[in-house]
Chain A
Amino acid sequence: MHVPTRFKGYMGRMLRIDLTTRQVSEYPISDEQRELYLGGKVMAARILADLITGPVDPFGPENVVVVTSGPLTGTGAPMTSRFNVSTISPLTGLLTSSNCGGSFGLHLKKAGCDGLVITGRAGAPVWVEITEAEVRFHDAAELWGLTTGATQAALPPRTGKLVIGPAGENRVRYASLASDERMAARAGVGAVFGAKNLKALVAHGRLAIPVANPEQVKALHRGWTQGLRSHPVTGNQLPRLGTAGLLSAMQARRMLATRNFSRGRFDQFDAVSGETLAEEHLVRNSGCTGCPVHCGREVILPEAAGETGGEAEVGTEAAARAGMVTAQSPEGRAGDAAKPSAEGPAGKDGRKGRRVKGPELETLVLLGPNLENEDLSEIIRWNYQLDELGMDTISTGGTIAFAMELNEKGLWENGLRFGEVKDLPQLFDDIAHRRGIGDLLAEGSRRLAQRFGGMSFAMQVKGLELPAYEPRAAVGQGLGYAVSNRGGCHLNAGYLAVLEGLGLDVDPYTPRGKAALTVLMQDLMEAISAAGNCLFSSFDVLPAALLNRPNSWLTRAVNRLLPRLGGPVALIHRLQWLPVHLPGLPVTRSLAAVTGMKMDLGRLKAIGERGYNLERLVNTRLGVRAADDDLPERLKTVEQIPGDPRSRVPLEPMKRQYYRLRGWSPDGVPTPALLRRLRIQ
């Protein structure tokens, strides 16, 4: 039954699609729920909390996929093309959420939908088309086996698409989804699509997205965009260096995951740095729809060694069948001719060939230093190949690094060695098609450890491989990894690395104040994501005056003060009443102007807290307890800097404090009183 909404920014319709019966109905969302859960991953957590009441097989028809946009998506607010995919992950067995900047969310709203709730399993491969008028089921037999790029090319043009590649079809536990060139990559959301025989979602329509106060919205968003353009991170670093610009700072701060997280620095880091990527490979910036920052990289796909051009060396069987993938130009090699001398200017001339999306920071680190690989051209090729196969670059790199160390320690003879990477393209293809050892690697590092041993150096949390930040040099980031609902994820962790050296410079080795800061950051990031925003849209919350002057007395004072603010931050956490808007956090004013809801910092934070606890609630139903909020032994017991006991993560005391602040029981379960306070039924 359709329940109209009084709030703008929403299309007022959430569809439930049962793939087994092909029945389509409306999933009712009330305005009270919109005020409590906003949209995006928080609304998805509410829906999953209603539908997932006990253990489910992630590959079974009983698993539920929730695709949600946010109220700001498509309203002209900067960096709001994001949409979210939540489900029960085949990698972790827990609730996961994966965010993507492709255009699917925008098109879904133009088709009159705020989101989709997908259940069941199709009898044969299908793709599903969502329009203003109807939902159509199409036979996907011809698409099955195609890469993500070939699939999107074969679907109707000028529509929003969300597709899987061969890895999703073959249920690789870390298979991703693609929308345009952007990926919803983490924790195997693509494999759940594959298990449901769902090759693609396509949305299109012409509906306008309503806003409550158009004039105010226009002025607010103009100011917000100007703020982003004048900020040192979103106006300078990200456009010029991309997310990869952080790699050299991570090297300096011993935060660069190297050799399966056994070290925090890589001697050859500059060969794969963001600066080198910009100097030797960048053709131009690219970005998500409606983004003024454009942190994406567009590069020329380099040829493989010994390649004379035109051969689809990277190609999968499916890609070859589709007649696509790697048609490289003979003159396409971006490296040697343009390579700057040690003291010379960076060359940019003579770049011709196929333009593809360049690697982001996480891909560079997990496929670079973490494998002891210093070949940037190879990483560019692999990034492209993995996107086409539909496979998460973080988990792929993390799982292979673990397999290399298993081989080195004699626990699993698999032929993989750190620094020897020429055969990896074939291995990626084998993983995606579950051939040979690829079938085992497709299971992820935790399942490999259960089979071969080595759990103490399987770099995962709750089954999800860790991203690029070595937490022994950022212990608050380590706490975040351990308690994160999603598992080893830097964003769901609260991303304290930004305060612990990559932005501000709070002592990265002290546990003091880190639990309170983690709770605050997690809740805010959860809510910003629920609005439909990219998290980078709120970088203004870190004042330019501090970032631009890291050596000033003010910045040094803030760095010293923050760990001592655990008490006040905890107090802010408990306050439900914060009727203010922060100058660096325009999302609250924007939400009020777009939706017509009452919105301020307190309400926004409460939405984030509600979302984090809802996800936790689902996870506790699926069996999560305190023992699961853990880190690999290497990170807790082995000093990163030999002889310096501070260079390991003191997890337990931080975790106890975190549970107290969250209002969870000592076993990590949200208490009934907390759920009542948050109005979670």
Chain B
Amino acid sequence: MVTVRLFGTLRLDAGRRQVNVDASTVAEALQKTAASLGLPDAGALLAATVYVNGERASTRTRLRDGDELYLLSPAAGG
């Protein structure tokens, strides 16, 4: 089980702060997160910047039980 934490407008759209899914790669985690949020596909999540345990990751990054993912929607400036 990995924890997927949502940030940015992605989180407001989802109405949830996090979901827990079983996944062995980031790509699989995104697919399962999309399903858990009731999204038709993982398109919106694939545009997010992904961090695994605080380090930048790609869709191919492998996951272990207990990993924590951050998904950040596009943001700039302030």
Interface residues of A (CB under 8 A from B): 232-233, 236-238, 240-241, 243-246, 248-249, 252, 265, 270, 273, 275, 278-279, 340, 342-346, 360-362, 468, 495, 498, 502-505, 535-536, 539, 542, 547-551
Contact = CB atoms under 8 A, between A and B. Distances in A.
A671 B9 CA distance: 48
Given A252-B51, A343-B17, A551-B46, A240 B75 contact: no
Nearest to B46: A551
A240 B75 CA distance: 11
A275 B73 CA distance: 12
Contacts of B70: 248, 252
A135 B38 CA distance: 63
9 residue pairs, one from A and one from B, having the closest CB atoms? A503-B76, A246-B78, A243-B78, A248-B7, A345-B15, A361-B78, A547-B74, A249-B75, A233-B76
A495 B77 CA distance: 8
Interface string B33-60: 0000000000000111101001000110
Given A252-B70, A345-B16, A275 B11 contact: yes
B75 A233 contact: yes
Contacts of A550: 47-49, 74
Nearest to A362: B78
B18 interface: yes
Contacts, number: 106
B8 interface: yes
A236 B9 contact: yes
Size bin of chain B's contact surface: 20 to 34
Contacts of B47: 548-551
A252 B19 CA distance: 18
22 contacts: A233-B74, A237-B76, A238-B77, A245-B75, A245-B78, A246-B78, A248-B72, A249-B8, A249-B49, A249-B72, A252-B49, A252-B72, A270-B5, A273-B7, A275-B11, A502-B76, A547-B76, A548-B74, A550-B49, A551-B46, A551-B49, A551-B59
Contact of A249 (B7, B11, B16, B58): B7
A273 B75 CA distance: 13
Given A342-B17, A549-B47, A551-B47, A503 B75 contact: yes
B55 to A, nearest CB: 10
Nearest to A469: B78
A278 B73 CA distance: 15
A275 B8 contact: yes
Contacts of A502: 75-78
A275 B77 contact: no
Contacts of A237: 8-9, 73-76
A671 B56 CA distance: 44
